[in-house]
Amino acid sequence: MGGLQKKKYESGSATNYVTRNKARKKLQLSLADFRRLCILKGIYPHEPKRKKKVNKGSTAPRTFYLVKDIRFLLHEPIVAKFREYKVFVRKLRKAYGKSEWGGVQRLRENKPVYKLDHIVKERYPTFIDALRDLDDALSMCFLFSTFARTGKCHVQTIQLCRRLSVEWMNYIVMSRSLRKVFLSIKGIYYQAEVLGQTVTWVVPYQFAHNHPTDVDYRVMATFTEFYTTLLGFVNFRLYQTLNLLYPPKVWYGALGLDACYKNNDETQTLHKDLLPSFQEDAEALVVREKEQKEQDSLKNLFEGLKFFLNREVPREPLAFLLRCFGAQVSWEKSLCIGSTYDVNDETITHQVVDRPNVDKKYINRYYIQPQWVFDCVNSRIRLPVEDYFPGVTLPPHLSPFVEHKEGDYVPPEKLRLMSLQRGERPGEDEDGGDDDGEEEEDDDDDMDDEEATDEKNLKLMEKQKSQGKALSVTVTPGKVKQENKMRLEQEEKAEEKRLAIMMMKKKEKYLYDKIVFGKKRKVREANKLAAKRKAHDDACKADKKKKKKKTTGRE
Amino acid sequence: MLNFDLCHLTRCGAHVVSGPYSMPASRSRVTEGTVMDTKEKSGKKRVAEEDDDQLSLFKIEKDGFPKKLEKEDNDDDLSDSEESVFSGLEDSGSDSDDDDDDDDDDDDDDDGGVGGDDDDDDDDDDDDDDGTVEETKDADEESLGKDNEEATILKTSTEQPFSEKREAKRQGEKASDGGNAVRKARASRARGTGSGKLEQAPGLGGQSSGAPPQGDEYEQDTSDEEDIRNTVGNIPMEWYQDYPHIGYDLDGKKIYKPIRNKDELDEFLDKMENPDYWRTVHDRMTGTDIRLSDEQVDLVHRLQRGHFGDASFNEYEPYVDFFSSETMIHPVTNRPADKRSFIPSLIEKEKVSKLVHAIKMGWIKPRQPKESGLQLYDLWAKEDPNSILGRHKMHVPAPKSKLPGHEESYNPPPEYLLTEEEKLAWEQQDPEERKLNFLPQKFACLRTVPAFSRFIHERFERCLDLYLCPRQRKMRVNVDPEDLIPKLPKPRDLQPFPTVQSLVYRGHTNLVRCISVSPSGQWLASGSDDCTVRLWEVCTGRCMKTIEVGGAVKSIAWNPNPAICLVALSFNQMVLLLNPGLGDKLVCSTTDQVIASYVEPEEEKEQSVQWLLPEDQDVEKGVRLIINHPKSVRQLTWHSKGDYLASVMPDNSNTQVLIHQITKRRSQNPFRKNKGLVQCVSFHPIRPYFFVATQRYIRIYNLIKQELMKKLSANCKWISSMAIHPAGDNVICGSYDSRLAWFDLDLSTKPYKVLRHHKKALRGVAFHKTYPLFASASDDGSVIVCHGMVYNDLLQNPLIVPVKVLKGHTITQDLGVLDVAFHPSQPWVFSSGADHTVRLFT
């Protein structure tokens, strides 16, 4: 017949993938080293499309790497460094065993070290790539910078992380690129727009960490090793774009934020933003301009305001936030270095307080709770301060990251905020709107009721009809039944759809069912939230009424 | 003499003590120093003199006191010290013992035996380095030349005594007859004893190399006089046994033995009588007995006990560290510095010049200071967006972490907080299954917000996800579900089809298993489990006739020939042919005539069934013929001409299907073999084909050619019913696993389409005679009417569109609709159900 018999698993997808152990053997690395290499080089397992084929007929769960990835790792200079390090450790152990202290010192001096510069460049060929992938790096650096020097990782790493994170914050302040903040129960989320890329990071609250035991800090340290390198280069480049000197002369304990300008031409960058509008049509230009204006207004949200942070307020996040939007911030001198003015400065406009009452109040400044600052940033306007006075029950703090789509549940606070943003003055009218909504709902209910009764009647009739014997043979003048044409049409359409669904192929039917199920679930959840809110509001109203009654009764 | 002995002993002790320190030559010198100190401490009278051997020797001679002995003692000191350094006290003791054996006369000799060493030692001390070699050479008495060599090596100061020594040796070898030179004689004797000793312990020769310089060794030789009354020297005194003298005095005159030698008896008497006998020692040299003094005895005792010889010596002196960190003004030794210490080393010079050259050439560079920390620069200075590696084509970027929603806020709107039940449910869920990985909480103010305990966990899990999770690019299904719904022609355009239930035929008291419509469409026959057959008028729903039969009616079929009014029905093993007598009287009568026109054939054939004529009362009811089968009959079906009737008896035997010819009252079994449990059979409407449905297959036989034409596999578990399109090219079959399979006989043996419209088992299917409609009845209580258009154009596939779901039957005992039948001319459909009713949908 001609030709050799084709063997199984010798071509195609089976040869494109390799299991982890095989990859490890090929690279001649221990598992720990292999993992470290994967972390540094950003190699991750791939899920083959046809797993059984790739697994050579077995269905055992295995992780697969791309053969190309592994081949790519073969030429990595860091692998040689790993081997050198292994030898170094062996030699060091030997020297220790023989108590050759001179040898130990000599070995330590020649400890093999590796650099990750080339890997950063390789993983992120362009600067924008690096910015796009900065979220995890920032979160990790901010986390590590909050670690105590307890030996979970090297002190140098912690210091480096602290330095880099402060530099990053400094850049954000200088470029005024912060967009959103969110006080979650996990930590504080920040979102900035850096060179057109949204970068989100989370910072834990300032508390000592209760270090868990089931976390492998070596893995985290390896990640941090790479992230610090990446962040260092990114910071360098970012400072360059602002024409700032790097490294800045910042005192890393507090957010000093006094970077030295090489020469101030911010205007140039601004022009750059406005320039590329040749091809765009006028409409887009208008939109762009509007956006630009909005952004400018956001950037100068707190311009000209003078804040004073009380002792109990988280200083660093607030100082960072306020400075990002152009405010002046200070705090008590005894608290931390970097305070510029005192409490009794008469020009202070806002004092951020997080205690129920303040002893000594100045009449010419607002006393507000910290949430005001965060809510202002998220809503992009200066919100009325009345709701945020000390001791007042705060309005709910909403996540700025939620984008409400059609059919999603929108909390009423959000609606109120939106109306505020539109420049409307919310007040009594909103309540009226609510009432309207309720009325509408009532109408719907009525409709439903009518339908229900109709159907009931029909059913009864039918039953009577069908029970021929029980029916007394009397002829009654028939009523003219109003046929709801719309309804009929709808029903017809629904039936049509149902029948068409019956004719769907099995695969498509499955998909369709899934989609429909997901949609239904969404609706259900939204309804549930709405119902909960309604119940809560009702309970609140009842409480209020009770209180009113009580007070009136007393009077 | 006693003093000297003591002195010697003390020094021995001193050496013993200092032994451990004296391994290297330089060290031995130090110990010597200590010895000197101790000696000074002993408080004996000593004169500080030059360290010349010669001088000391002369001094010894000058002293009248037993000079020789003294000298020997002195020498002994050294030798002993040397030996003791290495071999301890015992060695020296043994030496003395040997000497004792040798020398009978002189008890002093036993010490003197080692004296020979001393001279050598003295020499050696001066050239300590090569001393060992010379020692061994010295040990060989004969090699004078070597002695000469030795002398040449020696310093000038020691040269003189050595020349003398040489002479003395020579004389000693020649038995020293001359003896005039006292000094020489003494030296020779000393030499002789020395050699003897050396011969005894040649191995020890090397040890004496480290002997210290003897500078003040003879300080203590205060007694100039030496006992040299006998000048024979150190020779075995046995030689004089036979002579009356024992030697010669200084003047060369014979010294005579004591007149009377002590014999054994004298000895014994002496032993018995003399109280000092135990401390009396015989000096063989002089032939006199010497009584040891108390001090000497004490010394012996001390030594025997292993104590220090000198009673006043403190063994535990505070240790003086000579090689301390303090710089002393005096050198420890007065040895002149080596020449090499003045001259720069050539080898070093060469090395240095090599290094200098290497530095000059740039081969050796100074060690770079270690770069500490990150070295940052503009990494993307020359970024090239096109330089993306090939690998990156397969790159799947990690998805970003999910952004937090309202519920994660520290102060969320109240509706996002969990109620008690939800909280409980959350806690009982597995951590992986939870929709939220935290419990939403509300805090009154920012001050009260605690640290999130799982923050590090979350970061860690993210890390794990990044490097351990297999990634796969998945196409996001972003389809509008409406697009998935197939575009079908609107049912309205496919009218007519039954849409509403218009009539219900009530009357049966048990489930209605089968229905059949008359070819005219005027009458409906239904068979039920209540053992009756009812005949209804279709339009009015009136029950025209009720015929009781002897069992539950399994199947009923109206003869399709409009010219004949005949209904076939089956119960148990019977098949009845019924003339209902409805409608046109003419037709009824012709039917009766047709049945009655049967003429008995001449030769009766053996038949598997019995053709019986009914009894009179049955005839009144309308029964015209009875076919008694061997087994219970399940299904009946007419050929379209109306003459042939097929009956099905599902069984394991080969007689499952029988075809009866009514006019000839003849039955035949078309199949010889059992091909599985037959479910139903059907005639082709036009051609002489016969369809047999077993559990999973439908076989099509050509009745004329008597062969199997086609075998359709239904892809279902158990076929329940089958219907054939009036054109004959399409077959539908329903199955108990709720499928309806449409076969296009022109296409393939596999179903053209499988419809899963019903939720439960299908019980019956039917085609309309004229309209492109088919219906299926199922246990879920619904009848689904589909538009099944078959085109004459062979290239166009049949169009199947469900047009209506008809509901009306109630489900009783898990059974819904049992049979379905179309009106022959109108687009109406009849259905019989387990709820004892028959319904008409129009």
Whether B140 maps to a domain, the answer reads no
Amino acid residing at B570: S
Determine contact, residues B1/B108, Cβ cutoff 8 Å: yes
Is residue A263 helix, strand or coil? Answer: coil
Q: Could you tell me the domains of chain A?
A: 13-75 (no CATH), 82-114 (no CATH), 117-242 (no CATH), 303-393 (3.40.50.10190), 403-420+509-531 (no CATH)
| Range of lowest pLDDT (B127-131, B468-472, B546-550, B771-775) | B127-131
List the single residue in B with minimal CA-CA distance to A144: B456
Angstrom distances, CA of residue B78 to CA of B40, B81, B116, B118, B664: 17, 5, 10, 6, 159
Angstrom distances, CA of residue A210 to CA of A488, A489, B69, B103, B153: 65, 65, 93, 96, 85
**Rounded mean pLDDT, B459-463:** 94
Determine contact, residues A230/A39, Cβ cutoff 8 Å: no
Amino acid residing at B51: D
* Nearest CA distance, B813 vs chain A (angstrom): 21
Query: How many of the other CB atoms lie within 10 Å of CB of A294?
Result: 11
Mutate to test the interface with B, among A499, A524, A529 (most CBs of B within 10 A): A499
Q: d(Cα B570, Cα B607) in Å, to the nearest integer?
A: 19
Banded pLDDT at B462 (limits 50, 70, 90)? very high
| Digit-coded pLDDT (tens) for B135-177 | 444 444 444 444 444 433 434 333 444 444 444 444 444 433 4
Q: Helix H segments across A383-427?
A: 412-421
Tokens of B433: 């299954």
The residues in A 248-307 lying below 8 A from B, measured between CB atoms, are none
* Nearest CA distance, A45 vs chain B (angstrom): 4
pLDDT confidence of residue A531: 92
Residue listed under structure tokens 């061997």: B630
Residue among A181, A209, A193, A206 nearest A134 (CA):
A193
Longest dimension (CA), chain A: 120
- Residues (pLDDT < 70) of chain A are 1-2, 250-281, 425-455, 460-473, 552-555
Q: Which of A125, A501, A504 sits opposite B383 (nearest CB)?
A: A125
pLDDT confidence of residue A373: 92
* Nearest CA distance, A379 vs chain B (angstrom): 15
How many domains in chain B? 1
Q: Does A118 touch chain B (CB under 8 A)?
A: no
Q: d(Cα A202, Cα A137) in Å, to the nearest integer?
A: 10
Using a CB-CB cut-off of 8 Å, the residues of chain B touching A130 are 380
ipTM score assigned to the predicted complex? 0.84
Using a CB-CB cut-off of 8 Å, the residues of chain B touching A396 are 406, 409, 411-414
Determine contact, residues A176/A327, Cβ cutoff 8 Å: no
pLDDT confidence of residue B184: 43
CB contact under 8 A, A183 and B449: yes
The residues in B 464-483 lying below 8 A from A, measured between CB atoms, are 464, 466-472, 477, 479, 481
Q: Is the pLDDT of residue B190 over 90?
A: no
Determine contact, residues A208/A152, Cβ cutoff 8 Å: no
The residues in B 482-521 lying below 8 A from A, measured between CB atoms, are 484-488, 490-492, 504, 506
Q: d(Cα B406, Cα B554) in Å, to the nearest integer?
A: 66
Give phi and psi for B548, each to the nearest 5: -90, 135
Banded pLDDT at B27 (limits 50, 70, 90)? very low
| Range of lowest pLDDT (A300-304, B132-136, B428-432) | B132-136
Contacts of A31 (CB under 8 A, 6+ apart): A24
| Digit-coded pLDDT (tens) for B597-644 | 877 777 777 777 888 888 888 788 888 888 888 888 889 999 988 888
* Nearest CA distance, B8 vs chain A (angstrom): 48
Q: Does B423 touch chain A (CB under 8 A)?
A: no
Q: Which of A183, A402, A536 sits opposite B446 (nearest CB)?
A: A183
Tokens of B566: 């005949």
Q: What is the DSSP letter of A277?
A: -
A350 or B100: whose pLDDT is higher?
A: A350
The domain containing residue B802 runs over which residues? 497-598+607-841
pLDDT confidence of residue B75: 41
Q: Which of A369, A500, A501 sits opposite B445 (nearest CB)?
A: A369
Q: Give the mean pLDDT of chain B.
A: 74
List the single residue in A with minimal CA-CA distance to B801: A503
**Rounded mean pLDDT, B732-750:** 89
Q: Which of B380, B394, B459 sits opposite A139 (nearest CB)?
A: B459
Q: Does B805 touch chain A (CB under 8 A)?
A: yes
Is residue A288 helix, strand or coil? Answer: helix
Determine contact, residues A250/A256, Cβ cutoff 8 Å: yes
Using a CB-CB cut-off of 8 Å, the residues of chain A touching B489 are none
Determine contact, residues B832/B817, Cβ cutoff 8 Å: yes
Mutate to test the interface with A, among B456, B501, B809 (most CBs of A within 10 A): B456
Q: Is the pLDDT of residue B828 over 80?
A: yes
Is residue B139 helix, strand or coil? Answer: helix
Q: d(Cα B838, Cα B842) in Å, to the nearest integer?
A: 13
List the single residue in A with minimal CA-CA distance to B800: A503
The residues in B 349-408 lying below 8 A from A, measured between CB atoms, are 370, 373-380, 383-385, 387-392, 394, 396-398, 400-401, 403-406, 408
Whether B232 maps to a domain, the answer reads no
pLDDT confidence of residue A220: 93
Using a CB-CB cut-off of 8 Å, the residues of chain A touching B400 are 135, 200
* Nearest CA distance, B379 vs chain A (angstrom): 6
Using a CB-CB cut-off of 8 Å, the residues of chain A touching B506 are 468-469
Whether B512 maps to a domain, the answer reads yes
Residue listed under structure tokens 């996040």: A317
Q: Which of B385, B391, B479 sits opposite A69 (nearest CB)?
A: B391
Whether B222 maps to a domain, the answer reads no
Tokens of A476: 């009654």
Q: Does A9 touch chain B (CB under 8 A)?
A: no
The CATH number of the domain holding residue B629 is 2.130.10.10
Give phi and psi for B115, each to the nearest 5: -55, -35
**Rounded mean pLDDT, B103-129:** 40
CB contact under 8 A, A223 and B463: yes
Determine contact, residues B485/A501, Cβ cutoff 8 Å: yes
Angstrom distances, CA of residue A363 to CA of A305, A344, A348, B372, B450: 16, 11, 11, 54, 33
Angstrom distances, CA of residue A177 to CA of A168, A181, A242, A454: 11, 12, 12, 61
* Nearest CA distance, B473 vs chain A (angstrom): 9
Q: Which of B370, B438, B444 sits opposite A185 (nearest CB)?
A: B438
Determine contact, residues A202/A131, Cβ cutoff 8 Å: no
* Nearest CA distance, B721 vs chain A (angstrom): 21
pLDDT confidence of residue A1: 55
pLDDT confidence of residue A465: 59
CA B620 to chain centre: 94
Q: Does A237 touch chain B (CB under 8 A)?
A: yes
Give percent above pLDDT 70 in chain B. Answer: 71
| Digit-coded pLDDT (tens) for B332-362 | 788 888 888 888 889 999 999 999 999 999 9
* Nearest CA distance, B451 vs chain A (angstrom): 6
pTM over the 0.90 mark: no
Determine contact, residues B764/B778, Cβ cutoff 8 Å: no
CB contact under 8 A, B492 and A371: no
Using a CB-CB cut-off of 8 Å, the residues of chain B touching A72 are 389, 391
Give percent above pLDDT 90 in chain B. Answer: 13
Determine contact, residues A385/A403, Cβ cutoff 8 Å: no
